[in-house]
Amino acid sequence: MNVIGVDLGGTKILARSIDITNGKANKRVKSPTPKDGPEAVLDEIAEVVAEVDPDRECSLVGVGVPGLVGDDGVVAQCPNIDGWDRDVNVKEGLESRLERSVVVANDVNCGAVAEHRFGAGAGTPDMLAVFVGTGVGGGLILGNELREGARGLAGEIGHVTVTPGGRRCGCGGRGHLENYAGRAGIEAEARRRAASGEPNLLVSLANTGKIKSRHIEKALAEGDKVAEELLAEAVEALAIGIGNLATALDLDRVVLGGGVVDKLGQPFVDRIVASPSFGGFGSSTCDLRLAERLDDAGVLGAAIIAAER
Amino acid sequence: MNVIGVDLGGTKILARSIDITNGKANKRVKSPTPKDGPEAVLDEIAEVVAEVDPDRECSLVGVGVPGLVGDDGVVAQCPNIDGWDRDVNVKEGLESRLERSVVVANDVNCGAVAEHRFGAGAGTPDMLAVFVGTGVGGGLILGNELREGARGLAGEIGHVTVTPGGRRCGCGGRGHLENYAGRAGIEAEARRRAASGEPNLLVSLANTGKIKSRHIEKALAEGDKVAEELLAEAVEALAIGIGNLATALDLDRVVLGGGVVDKLGQPFVDRIVASPSFGGFGSSTCDLRLAERLDDAGVLGAAIIAAER
């Protein structure tokens, strides 16, 4: 059975035709995300889907969005999409444009489901997926099913406290995992250090642009002291956050992905596992693995969630 | 339907006849826990059960034990029961003595199930129960079912890290929740402080005996500075540990019980909820409540688990 999977991101819309019996992603169409509001975004998604499936062979479309999705397909907040300034019923808006059934899901949950069915989480009933990019997101599979939680926020491991009273978080809290492990948290701290007399390669490589995962990788490779300190904090934050959840849920598999992890690779995973904060009482038998699906996880997961709903 | 519930504790064995349709606990028999090994304990449980149900009206017995229970009813570790020095098949041992079907479960999980069905967790599909006594234990209900986890250790929130690099834990880790919130952790710190020149009421009230929950209550009531500092640490540890799990699972209900909580009551719960570490991103809508079943939670939960298995 073929289902169209769409991954709506801050910079691009990706659509593919997915054979959900084997997880194989076929035809691929990519387009920049419009920045002039939700209606323009929905129009562009409709065009991309039509291009992936011109002969209307698929009657079902799954769409992963970077926001909180209500049961009725309403997407309230999409802070990563410029111009998305209000509640939008993405399901209705796309169904009327596409004349196909549309299922809308959170993009991080799509990634988790993709890894669980056809990636590094295959074969285990319970799995946590953690994606480390600009922020830190997570998705939780328990008993082979995606856990959504009371408000659809389950898996939001980026906002667990790892350093009580620590760095201020955009959500209003303090010392949350993503303030230490996310790219934006690392950037903020690197710039703060540079401004207070600790020049570092992270800032000088990025110059006035964003500090990207490749800048982190390069600064580490060149032995930059600040970069190494910030990486050690990121490792510790992930070890505490992931280790605690593995302990409390008695999980045997955690999959780690996202831009920062893809760049730093297995040595980064190995450092997390080696931390005493990770290998405690409950997480000592937990298997932490690199994500396998990378760029197609979003479209694959969106298609699977659509087919299973 | 009546089922016999048995709660095996370090000091006493409690058995009651439970009407599992309404959670009502009827006839009650109590006996000290033998300290001369597992066989003597099983003999005593058989006697207590016979006394609760002399006419053999119940064909099913649920037994809650303070240890890790394997699928086959084998209890490997019971550190709280003197003389329990080896693996024991409690299910087989009791079934041959009682000629009734026996289901064995972890006592903390029994307490969680009791609160969920007929206590402070009634009416919600997902609930975490946290019991603060000598240590800190927990049980997790997700989708109306007890989560056991890959190794039967799910809910072990006592061993999540709340203070990285902090107090040493009996399990080999550091800075775990129970080292700050459990009675034994509070006692160890109070004695350490007394020994290093900070005399305090906790130690002087207990003298050479154990520092009990009532000593903590009294020292706080008298404004003892060390007791207040240790309580503030306990509150913060619980706020972080519970708040993080509520965030990651998007839970809307947490039930708090155990000896320390029973003694300190609602003001203790209110302090946890008021902590910034609790009320973050994910746990702001989580309802934290006092346990309601108290002394009969163990027997009630054991009977329910037996009936539902």
The conformation of residue A243, written as its DSSP 8-state character, comes to H
- Tell me the C-alpha distance between A53 and A3, whole Å: 10
Token representation of residue A94: 């796309």
In this complex, do B138 and A240 lie within 8 Å of one another by their Cβ atoms?
no
> Per this entry, what is the length of chain B?
309
- Which of B148, B248, B277 is nearest residue A156 as measured by Cβ atoms? B248
pTM of the model: 0.93
| Position A123 confidence tier, pLDDT thresholds 50, 70, 90 | very high
Distance from A171 to chain B by nearest Cα, in Å?
A: 6
In this complex, do A281 and B171 lie within 8 Å of one another by their Cβ atoms?
yes
| B183-193 mean pLDDT | 97
Assigned fold of A2-111+296-308: Nucleotidyltransferase; domain 5 (3.30.420)
pLDDT higher than threshold 60 for residue B116: yes
Nearest residue in chain B measured CA to CA from A141: B249
Report domain B122-291's class: alpha beta
The pLDDT value recorded for residue A265 is 96
In this complex, do A285 and B151 lie within 8 Å of one another by their Cβ atoms?
yes
The pLDDT value recorded for residue B281 is 63
* Residue % of chain A over a pLDDT of 70: 98
Distance from B100 to chain A by nearest Cα, in Å?
A: 32
The pLDDT value recorded for residue A276 is 86
pLDDT higher than threshold 90 for residue A254: yes
Structure confidence by residue, pLDDT tens digits, B142-156? 999 999 998 888 998
Establish whether domains B2-111+296-308 and B122-291 are of one fold. Answer: yes
Structure confidence by residue, pLDDT tens digits, A143-190? 999 999 988 889 989 999 999 999 999 888 899 999 999 999 999 999
The pLDDT value recorded for residue A71 is 81
In this complex, do B156 and A280 lie within 8 Å of one another by their Cβ atoms?
no
* Residue % of chain B over a pLDDT of 70: 98
| B231-235 mean pLDDT | 98
Q: Where are the domains of chain A?
A: 2-111+296-308, 123-291
Q: Which of B147, B244, B253 to mutate to test the interface with A (most CBs of A within 10 A)?
A: B244
In this complex, do A281 and B173 lie within 8 Å of one another by their Cβ atoms?
yes
Q: Which of B69, B236, B245, B250 to mutate to test the interface with A (most CBs of A within 10 A)?
A: B250
Residues of B in contact with A285 (CB under 8 A): 150-151
The pLDDT value recorded for residue A283 is 61
In this complex, do B138 and A280 lie within 8 Å of one another by their Cβ atoms?
no
Structure confidence by residue, pLDDT tens digits, B75-103? 987 888 989 989 999 999 999 999 999 99
Q: Which candidate, B183, B137, B180, places its Cα nearest to that of B156?
A: B137
Q: What is the three-state SS of B121-142?
A: CCCCCCEEEEEECCCEEEEEEE
In this complex, do B285 and A169 lie within 8 Å of one another by their Cβ atoms?
no
pLDDT higher than threshold 70 for residue A281: no
Evaluate whether B14 touches B30 at the Cβ level (below 8 Å): yes
Pairs across A and B, CB distance < 8 A: 144
CATH 3.40.980.10 is the classification of domain A123-291: no
In this complex, do B250 and A152 lie within 8 Å of one another by their Cβ atoms?
yes
Residues of A in contact with B282 (CB under 8 A): 153, 156, 159-160
Distance from B225 to chain A by nearest Cα, in Å?
A: 22
Query: What's the distance, CA B190 to chain centroid?
Result: 23
pLDDT higher than threshold 60 for residue A256: yes
| B153-175 mean pLDDT | 92
Label residue A166 exposed, middle or buried (CB < 10 Å: 0-12, 13-18, 19+): middle
In this complex, do A248 and B247 lie within 8 Å of one another by their Cβ atoms?
no
Nearest residue in chain B measured CA to CA from A240: B161
In this complex, do A156 and B236 lie within 8 Å of one another by their Cβ atoms?
no
pLDDT higher than threshold 60 for residue B282: no
| B21-41 mean pLDDT | 94
Structure confidence by residue, pLDDT tens digits, A6-52? 999 989 999 999 999 999 999 999 999 999 999 999 999 999 999 99
Identify the sign of the CA torsion B169, B175, B179, B185.
positive
pLDDT higher than threshold 60 for residue A282: no
The interface predicted TM-score of the complex, written ipTM, equals 0.92
